[in-house]
Amino acid sequence: MLDLDAGETICLTPEGVEDLQPSWSPDGTRIAFVSELGENPNIWLMDADGGNRKRLTEGTFNDVFPSWSPDGTSIVFVRASPQDESDIHIMDADGGNVTRLTSGLRVMGPKWSPDGTRIVFAGMKGAWDSPEIDIYTVDVPADMR
């Protein structure tokens, strides 16, 4: 974060750990991000000032690319397995109710539609070195909106 009055950047996370892919909550009070604290990248949440850090996901997966729903109640993310597979998942903003939305594609960069009914993402079939990456959408189940 940059303090415009002082002209200084402010570090919100501890140094020595890779923390990346920050995503502001729609109301600006929280930040979802990826932290490599531990064995695998996981989605974490913190207040906008860097306080109240909380791990939302954990396990043997690499959870990356968090993005907030327009109403701030859900977070979409990519879950990549050790077998080099990846899918779009959605969860409540507190880390509960994790649901897989895609299968059979290698995916990255999910983002919500402005009305919160769909997710857009880049994906490919086949190996990661495939030269063809396409843009896809998936509907968000009504009970997850």
Report domain 12-144's class. mainly beta
Q: pLDDT by residue (tens digit) across 4-26?
A: 677 788 888 877 889 999 999 99
The answer to whether the CB of 42 falls within 8 A of the CB of 54 is no
Q: Are 118 and 137 in contact (CB under 8 A)?
A: yes
Q: What are phi and psi of 103, to 5 degrees?
A: -155, 140
DSSP string computed for 71-114: TSSEEEEEEE-TTS-EEEEEEETTS-S-EE---SSEEEEEEE-T
Q: Name the token pair of 36.
A: 């490599």
Neighbours of 55 (CB within 10 A): 14
pLDDT tens digits for range 37-84: 888 899 999 999 999 999 999 988 999 999 999 999 999 999 998 777
Largest CA distance in the chain: 49
Q: Which amino acid is at 142?
A: A
Domain range list for the chain: 12-144
Give 77-129 pLDDT, tens digit per residue. Answer: 999 987 778 999 999 999 999 999 998 888 999 999 999 999 999 998 766 66
Q: How many helices (H) and strands (E) does the chain have?
A: 0, 13
C-beta separation of 57 from 64 below 8 A: no
**Which residue is it, tokens 């993005």?**
67
